[in-house]
Amino acid sequence: MSVVQLPIAESPIIGLHYLAYPLNILLNYEDCMPWFYSNYIQLVLSKDFSIPMTFYPNSFSSNPLLGCHVMVKEIVPNNHINIHNFIMDRINNKDYFYSTFDEFYVPNRFFFNKEHFNHDFMIYGYDSNKMEYYLMGFDENRNYGSSKISFLQFEKAFFSENDKTGFIHLLSKRDNVKYDFDLRLVYEMLDDYYNSRNSSERVRMNGCLLVNRVFGLEVYKYLKEYFKSLMCENFDSDIRFLHILYEHKKCMLMRLEYMYKNNYINDNLYIYDGYKYIEQEMFKIRNQHLKYLVGGKKRCLSQLVDSLSEIEQKESELVERLLNAIYHKL
């Protein structure tokens, strides 16, 4: 076959590639849904905002359903491996190809022919006749989706002097692995979220303790300070903070729908309706930040901070109620 494409599911999280790609793979399969609904509860933010806010945990290695083989990029040129034969062979074996390249050489990307910029990507298919790859990522308009790149353009981007080092991850769904919905885990991570507890302490014996971070509901406090600072100073603000916060509410709403449907909670949809409201408001708040980025009006930031305070209070109430509802089901 000249054209081979592995399945790509819609991901409810797209704000960060390394979160989106595994979900693009796993959410194609119904038996992966209980794992998804058991996770993506806790949030973590660096106190100095140097790292985008993200979900916790979030690494490939902690995902029981995702196969991940890692190799250093230098192996390819050092061993005279034909990169195209290698990628096509891995795609034929149902491995998704995840690595980095220089977006200066990548069409339909923001930095194409403008600036050298290393970014991650995932290839999920190829057309050997047209000599093109199918890949996922953000286009020049910041829309997440599928695009194409020629073999030649890919070679330039992948072997760029600006991006010689790094890793290749070969990702796939693990077969014969069953994961049941873990209500106790949901309760524990929600409790961490509600109490702003450092969830990395659970795995500190592995040397994975995160420092200089805030977790859970405390992210609201730091985000409000971030935007208050932006009112007084001029610096490049990061839309990903509020976008991930919005996607967190999307995931919470999806989880609640699943839990109501399967009788894990029962409170006449009060919590679900509350989170539906929060999700809608967070979408508006994220768009308020976009308005500021486009127009530079400080007034948008003041409204944004007030809205975050309202959401924080509402969500705190809902999580407390949800914890009580789950507790009676354990």
Q: Which tops the pLDDT comparison, 163 or 276? A: 276
Q: Is 304 helix (H, G, I), strand (E, B) or coil?
A: helix
Residue 265 one-letter amino acid = I
Is 241 in contact with 53 (CB distance < 8 Å)?
yes
Whether the pLDDT of residue 165 is over 90: the answer is no
Using CA atoms, how far apart are residues 326 and 280, in angstroms rounded to an integer? 24
What Å distances lie between residue 155 and 77, 103, 110, 121, 162, CA to CA? 11, 12, 19, 14, 13
% of the chain exceeding 70 in pLDDT: 100
Residue 179's Cβ-side half-sphere holds a number of Cα atoms within 13 Å equal to: 22
Using CA atoms, how far apart are residues 330 and 314, in angstroms rounded to an integer? 25
Whether the pLDDT of residue 54 is over 90: the answer is yes
Band (pLDDT 50/70/90 cuts) for residue 10 is: very high
Q: How far apart are the first and last CA of the chain?
A: 51
Give per-residue pLDDT as tens, 200-220.
998 777 778 999 999 999 999
Q: What is the DSSP letter of 233?
A: S
Is 255 in contact with 326 (CB distance < 8 Å)?
no
Using CA atoms, how far apart are residues 43 and 245, in angstroms rounded to an integer? 8
Average pLDDT, integer, range 217-245: 92
SS3 content of the chain, % helix, strand, coil (to 5): 50, 20, 35
Phi, psi of 242 (to 5 degrees): -75, -30
The pTM for the full model equals: 0.95
Question: In the chain, where are the structural domains located?
Answer: 3-37+66-173, 183-327
Q: Is 147 helix (H, G, I), strand (E, B) or coil?
A: strand
